[in-house]
Amino acid sequence: MSIEIGIKGRAEDVVREENTAQAVGSGTLPVFATPAMTALMEKAAWTSLAPYLSEGESTVGTKLEITHDSASPLGIKVWAESEVTQVDGKRIVLKVAAYDEKGLIGQGVHERFIITNDRFLAKAGRKLEG
């Protein structure tokens, strides 16, 4: 299988104390945190791509340009959607958007690269060598 334009993904959550701006340190209010929205967008993206990868491969996020346009209070359901818009070798570009039960809360563009797990981890591990 290969990754193609049009592949879609979705990830859901509920705004809880643990994913508020107050809890993650991105602000002082008990509303859905921008870092939590970002993570939900990335989850929608990577989980949509995973079934198309070979054994020992993953994708890593390398770029995310988003807006966070509307606050979501505690207890409301939130979700993110992704759609592949461009495939350039190992580089995948996705349109991402996040919603709560009242509508769009954020949107943007996300870039991921296909990597080989062992090589990626070995390269990262070399940073610990003296």
pLDDT tens digits, residue range 69-115? 999 999 999 999 999 999 999 999 999 999 999 999 999 999 999 99
What does DSSP assign to residue 15? -
Structure confidence by residue, pLDDT tens digits, 5-63? 999 999 999 999 999 999 999 999 999 999 999 999 999 999 999 999 999 999 999 99
**pLDDT reading at 1 higher than 80:** no
Q: Are 76 and 98 in contact (CB under 8 A)?
A: no
Q: Which domains does the chain have, with CATH numbers?
A: 8-124 (3.10.129.10)
Categorize the per-residue pLDDT at 130 as very low, low, confident or very high, splitting at 50, 70 and 90. confident
Q: Which runs of E-coded beta strand occur in the chain?
A: 8-14, 57-68, 77-88, 91-100, 103-116
35: Cβ–Cβ under 8 A, 6 or more apart, which residues? 24, 26
Dist. CA 11–CA 13, nearest whole Å:
7
